[in-house]
Amino acid sequence: MIQGSLVALVTPMHDDGSVDYDAYARLIEWHIASGTDALVVMGTTGESPTLDMGEHNDVVSFAVKTAAGRIPVIAGTGGNSTQEAIELTRHAKAVGADASLQVVPYYNKPTQEGLYQHFKAVTEAVDIPIILYNVPGRTVADLKNDTVLRLAQLPNVVGLKDATGDIARAIDLLRRLPAVVGDKPFAVYSGNDDSALALMLVGGAGVISVTANLMPREMHEMAAAACSGNAAAARVLNDRLMPLHQKLFCEPNPVAPKWALYRMGKIGSHIRLPLTVLSRENQVVVEQAMREAGVPF
C-alpha cells in the first residue's frame, strides 16, 4: 500500500500547447528529491481531458521512464467510455505504471450497477492495481460506499481516492471495510487537500494532493506525521499549508497551481482551452497564499 503524499502532477506545456517534457522531467526529479511518496499523472490536475489518447499515453510513458522505479507512478487511465478506459489502462500496464487511477465515468450518469460493471470490466481486462476515483463535483455520478465495498472485493481494486470532502462518509467506509476485504490492503486517500489531515487521522492512507505541486517536502512531512498518528506535528504543518489548500481552488483546477508553478519559475504559463490563465484578480489571491505558506518565488 502506498501511503503519504501522492502528488497530482501538473503537465507543463510550451506556449504552442505541446507538452514541455524538459520541465516535466525537472518536476519529477524535484518531487523525488523532496520525498513525495508517489506521482499521480494524467489526472484532473494533469489536464487529461484536453490531451488526446496519444499524448496521454506519451506522458504516462515518459513519467514511468523518468521515475525509473525510484518512486511509484500511478496513471490516470479512466474515462466515461469503458473501452477507452481499458485501452488507456492496458498501455499504462505495458509501460510499467505501478497502478491505475480510475475516475467515475462522467457526463453519461451511470447507475450504481453501471459503475460496478464498468470498473469490473476494467479489472478483468487489465491485471494492474486499481484505485477508484470518486469526484461527484466533476462527474455528477457518485460512487456510493456500498458500491465501493462491492468493488473492494475484486482482487486488483486496492484503493479509493475520495474527493467528496465528507469525513463522516469516509469514516463509515473505513469502519465497514475490514468485514469485506479481510487482510487485503485497501487504501482510502483524500482527494481534497483541505480535509486530508482529518481523513488521515481517522485511518486514511494519504492524500492525492494539488498543494504538493508547490510544497512537496512539507506535504510529505505532514502526511507522514498524520499517518503515524502524530496529530500535533501534522497540524502545525497543515496550518501552514492551509492557505494553499484553500486558494489553489479559486479557479477550476489546475488553473491556479499551474500559474503558481509558473510564478516560481518551474514551468511555462500555458494551459489548454477551455481553461485559461489565472485572472489578474486571483493572481493576487494566490500570491498572498504562497507568501503565507512560505513558498519561494
6 within 8 A of 74, measured Cβ to Cβ: yes
Catalytic-residue membership of 258: no
User: Which one is catalytic: 24, 116, 133, 189?
Assistant: 133
User: Of the residues 93, 161, 247, 266, which is catalytic?
Assistant: 161
Taking the C-alpha atoms of 275, 281, 286 and 287 in order, what is their torsion angle to the nearest 10 degrees?
Answer: 130
| Exposure class string for 162-179: b at 16+ Cβ within 10 A, else e | bbbbebeebbebbeebee
Question: Does 65 qualify as catalytic in the annotation?
Answer: no
CA distance readout (Å), 126 to 83, 94, 117, 132, 249 = 12, 10, 14, 14, 34
Chain centroid offset of residue 36 CA: 12
Residue 51 has a CB neighbour count (10 Å cut-off) of 18
Positions marked catalytic: 133, 161
